[in-house]
Chains A and B, each alone.
Chain A
């Protein structure tokens, strides 16, 4: 089943995740027009007919990016989320200093090498004692055609500050190398780019960041999203950066997919023994189950969700959508509008 709605411009847009669901609710004035289609009959070409140049679809796609193994080839494959998958994203823009950038690299299988080298170096820091030269780790080389190079988000001489939320200060080159390799399936590195010209100058509360041809924050970062709704205000919480990476979130499913071959049997990927999500009875939201889980978490953290919240994802979403105050919705809107960089 495919759920669509018509937005203020009259474009037909899909509802298949929290964000576009919220958007549909919040922009509905006064009526929300819903279209229900059977999946096999769905006419994909009708989506966003008038708005192909807009970035909204990109937003949608960024949110939905999930590798799906048994996908069918639809006739037209523009901007349908499941046909894309992220290779990298900039995350946590809202909580990081403007001079820093947190980049997430998604390594899918063995197709493309990560493709970069690091080296020792020294950088200048401001300390209570004045300027001080401290040892640091820097990107020293990019492999042409590698993942790192193709994203355009990392460059030679960028200083590496954190690896998956852990500061590299005080660690040796070999230690940082090992940390990056150990996290290579879901590598999140925070860098201080050597070239600061491309920094995003964020305007507080303004809606100016919508037009993003540049690399900038993504609403897709549900870590950032979580922190926002949890703090309830625009104030960033840089001292607790790590809290944006709850262990459960970092454990991507991939990481547990050790391959077990039983004698004479077929290979099966291992799932965590106590599975932390349950298959819903309605196949309605199947493409974005993981997102649903995250959203539930964030609402729980907020404490706004009544304890009686059932496991039904639609219920949760409704409960969540009713609670936020208008300006909070506004914030979220801003977040959503920040474009995601997707490099294909």
Chain B
């Protein structure tokens, strides 16, 4: 009987777990790592980015996002949308072609791969014959022209990928008709470019690597014109009116050629214009050229590259020339590709925006506003414009703070264009986010960026710079952004990616924001702690630094690390936004490892590897300083070696060295061969030696003499029962790397005397955990077993006041186990061992609230845990039992694991690359992911009927086309069948998702009221 009942309880618990927890990797925020290809569909208004890791990402209007991943782990080299269809073709560097389509399902689109294809040449042919170098989707939407390394052009029917062998354009066919006097006729080389005549879809131009361009008639199957350029070809552009062809070349020149008459008269085509824009000295190649007409006035000419090799060969530039305006847009990273968006219903109007994909960001330039300002991107933001050093998430921001932060941010963005975002494809179907969430990222250059993390788009809101408080060794003459008058080429710096920090000591290490009071505290690499207050007006402050000596007379100490930052003594004008209120500097200036703020008590607590302290930012004095240093800990005693001073200089020097070595490399090429061999042999010997000595791990119990046992890992303010069970008092809890917990009782004066009466802190308890593992978190649970609310949460009626009657419990989370102690008498009550059982260690832990997706009013607090194995667990509170666990991050991805932050509602973020956050959710109720619909464009004129020479088509071709339709419809049938089978499942998923959202929004209101 008893067993039966227990069984029933267990299955009941299992059901509740299913209603509460669910793991989803919902989406990615930020800029794709290592982009390698760009595509754009004017008819769909969608942008596509392919990456080196084989991902393909589509973006339209804000909130419209799709992602696909190629099975092959190969880089995407080209992305082409098919005209008039919701589909695209990708080329990978393993020479495979992939067909993707956007299919609507239950009112929502999804990106699916529907076909793959690799060109097969004749048996025995070298692989270069079929190695694809150029792809042209024909405007009919039915053909794909593939130019290859061997110089052939293969014609393939889409979407079925059927080769039309009889229409292929072989190199021999072309070479035979090349004029005798063309110097490169013996070897035309690979197909570099393929372009279609914008006014005659039967004509294409084939550009060969050697320079020759051939206009080919697809119907007559013959060349109609030869353009004998003699420089190595880089790109070809056919102007909109079909009259001219522009070619760009490897010597930095471009040429404009007149296209001959319709009938293909072999009249002497003239090279109308040839120019090396940055001439005189040798220039680098112009990799792409585009010319676009305007209704009135001169056309826009845009090209990438072409810079003078010696002086500006390392710049990444796109030159835009319009009338008298000539600007060389200077990007901070390599240009991948660019395109221009045109106005008007059929994208036939004026050029309106230039979209440039560079290695580290997407930059959009408004070409219709004076000065060509940049348009702020609503997505694809470069999170890593300075490297991310830490992150902090705050859920459910009160509207007032939200609006003030936005207002402060708007004032920073005045240099952006006022134009709306020009890429508007698809519809965002996601309902408005249920709450306002902020993600704060700390950066190496001392900035803190505020991101709107409520919905699908991680939108930049505000940027706080802490460097104004300090003197940094920035050399004003060294500023890369400065442009001198009359400089040629006329550079203009664009983009915000700037990974070079002037002073690594400025790096932000810890952030804590109180969402109710608007107080923010940030701490950095050189032991600096700033308390900031939100001010809507600009104000001048003189910042006085308070130095806190954490050593407290500890002897035998030698700090070998960096020095403290120099604080500016003169008043500094701070713009509206967060302005510094107080500055504390730790001595020794070691990196701050723990930080917390209590806005109600107006206290900030911080810790380093040497100790911790509490600072009263109202009275501006120290309340408590505790040294946790172990005198036998040599590493902590000395600190890291100083690399600070030289880092910037050495970086610059190494760049120069690279540049120099490029020049000298050619000269010494031959001499070096022998040396190289020598070095290789030595390296091999070294490697062999390394293999002989395998990696060993020492098995030793943790001891108090281990390194950095005094490092403060966590700090926590709590109003709880520290000394006796009848009176609760404010307290501070600190946990160290050596498994030690210190508890201090704080005595705060009454509110009216808060400004003048001193605050005192008395040591109350010290717990040394037997297993000595580092302490990663401390939480006090109230009489109901619920975590204590945040400061001011109760005061703002946003949380139930904690149960102060029942006995409180202390939850200590170490790397190895979770342990619950009773309070005020600290005795162990429960524990959960993790490391001893499965060998994983706790890296991150955070309290979250999980709502049930079935019953609106049911929810539980739980502990979200991330281990060093990359697994996420949910541990119940207060029972400390493992509930669910999922594999989230690869265990090798150390930086991903280190970057993880949890939200208070069961979601999390971690970096999957320096520039991208993955967003995941453990909650059934709280899930943010894109819901969007893209409809295929209305294309009223099916291409087959409107082709000018359709009647001339041979019966063989007609047959071929017929067959191709058959193949296509067969493919469609297969797809539909596959999808229909899944329809039930999809329906259910859809239903539950909709229910989720409704439940969530309602529940949020309730919990806010509760």
Q: Give the B-binding residues of A (Cβ under 8 A).
A: 107, 110, 113-121, 140-141, 148, 164, 166, 171-185, 254-263, 270-273
Contacts and interface: CB of A to CB of B under 8 A. Distances in A.
Contacts of B654: none
Given A185-B770, A260-B766, A261-B766, A114 B695 contact: no
Contacts of A183: 836
11 contacts: A120-B695, A148-B699, A178-B839, A179-B839, A181-B699, A257-B770, A260-B766, A263-B723, A263-B765, A270-B826, A271-B827
A258 B769 contact: yes
A256 B820 CA distance: 12
Contacts of A181: 699-702, 835
Nearest to A165: B837
Contact of B700 (A140, A176, A184): A184
A165 to B, nearest CB: 10
Contacts of B723: 263
Contact of B836 (A164, A174, A261): A164
A184 B771 CA distance: 8
Contacts of B771: 182, 185, 255
A273 B699 contact: no
Given A185-B771, A273-B829, A116 B699 contact: yes
Contacts of B869: 175
B841 interface: yes
Nearest to B834: A182
B372 to A, nearest CB: 53
B835 A262 contact: no
A258 B772 CA distance: 9
Interface in B716-770: 723, 745, 762-770
Given A176-B839, A178-B835, A182-B773, 20 more contacts: A107-B701, A120-B694, A121-B694, A141-B696, A173-B695, A175-B838, A175-B839, A178-B839, A179-B835, A182-B836, A182-B839, A183-B836, A185-B770, A255-B771, A259-B767, A260-B827, A262-B765, A263-B762, A270-B821, A272-B827
Contacts of A171: 838-839
A13 B744 CA distance: 55
Question: Lowest 7 CB-CB distances: which A-B pairs, in order?
Answer: A175-B839, A184-B701, A182-B835, A182-B836, A177-B697, A179-B839, A259-B768
B697 A117 contact: yes
Nearest to B820: A273
B833 interface: yes
B555 to A, nearest CB: 23
Nearest to A116: B699
Contacts of B891: 172
Contacts of A262: 764-765
Interface string B863-876: 00000110000000
Contacts of A113: 700-701
Contacts of A273: 822, 827-829
Interface residues of B, number: 44
A262 B764 CA distance: 6
B698 interface: yes
B827 A178 contact: no
Interface in B789-847: 816-817, 819, 821-822, 826-829, 833, 835-841
Contacts of A255: 770-771
B808 to A, nearest CB: 14
Contacts of A178: 816, 835, 839-841, 868
A64 to B, nearest CB: 24
Interface of B: 694-704, 723, 745, 762-771, 773, 816-817, 819, 821-822, 826-829, 833, 835-841, 868-869, 891
Contacts of A176: 697, 839
Contacts of B697: 117-119, 173-174, 176-177
Given A121-B694, A173-B695, A255-B771, A184 B702 contact: yes
A182 B838 CA distance: 10
Nearest to B824: A262
B839 A258 contact: no
B770 A256 contact: yes
| Most central of A118, A121, A172, A184 by chain B CB within 10 Å | A184
Nearest to B766: A261
A198 to B, nearest CB: 22
A185 B839 contact: no
A194 to B, nearest CB: 15
B816 A182 contact: yes
B680 to A, nearest CB: 28
A88 to B, nearest CB: 14
Contacts of A116: 698-699
B699 A258 contact: no
A263 B764 contact: yes
A110 B770 CA distance: 12
Contacts of B816: 178, 182
Contacts of A121: 694
A272 B769 CA distance: 14
Contacts of A172: 839, 891
A258 to B, nearest CB: 5
Given A110-B703, A114-B699, A141-B696, A258 B767 contact: yes
B765 A260 contact: yes
A200 B24 CA distance: 53
A80 to B, nearest CB: 29
Given A177-B699, A181-B700, A184-B700, A258 B766 contact: no
| Most central of A176, A180, A181, A254 by chain B CB within 10 Å | A181
Contacts of B838: 166, 171, 175, 179
Contacts of B767: 258-261
A30 B723 CA distance: 63
Contacts of A184: 699-702
A146 to B, nearest CB: 9
Contacts of A256: 770, 828
Contacts of A174: 697, 839, 868
A32 to B, nearest CB: 43
A182 B765 contact: no
Contacts of A257: 770
Contacts of B840: 175, 178
B730 to A, nearest CB: 15
B700 A114 contact: yes
Nearest to B699: A180
A311 B816 CA distance: 36
A117 B696 contact: yes
B700 A115 contact: yes
A234 B650 CA distance: 73
Contacts of B745: 263
Contacts of B826: 260, 270
B695 A258 contact: no
B732 to A, nearest CB: 14
| Most central of B697, B702, B762, B771 by chain A CB within 10 Å | B697
Nearest to B767: A260
A258 B770 contact: yes
A176 B89 CA distance: 47
B827 A270 contact: yes
A148 B769 CA distance: 25
B766 A119 contact: no
A140 to B, nearest CB: 5
Nearest to B817: A182
A180 to B, nearest CB: 5
Contact of B699 (A117, A260, A270): A117
A148 B838 CA distance: 23
Given A256-B770, A263-B765, A272-B828, A166 B837 contact: yes
A107 B762 CA distance: 35
Contacts of B770: 185, 254-259
A148 B771 CA distance: 20
Given A182-B773, A257-B770, A263 B763 contact: yes
Given A185-B770, A270-B828, A273-B827, A118 B699 contact: yes
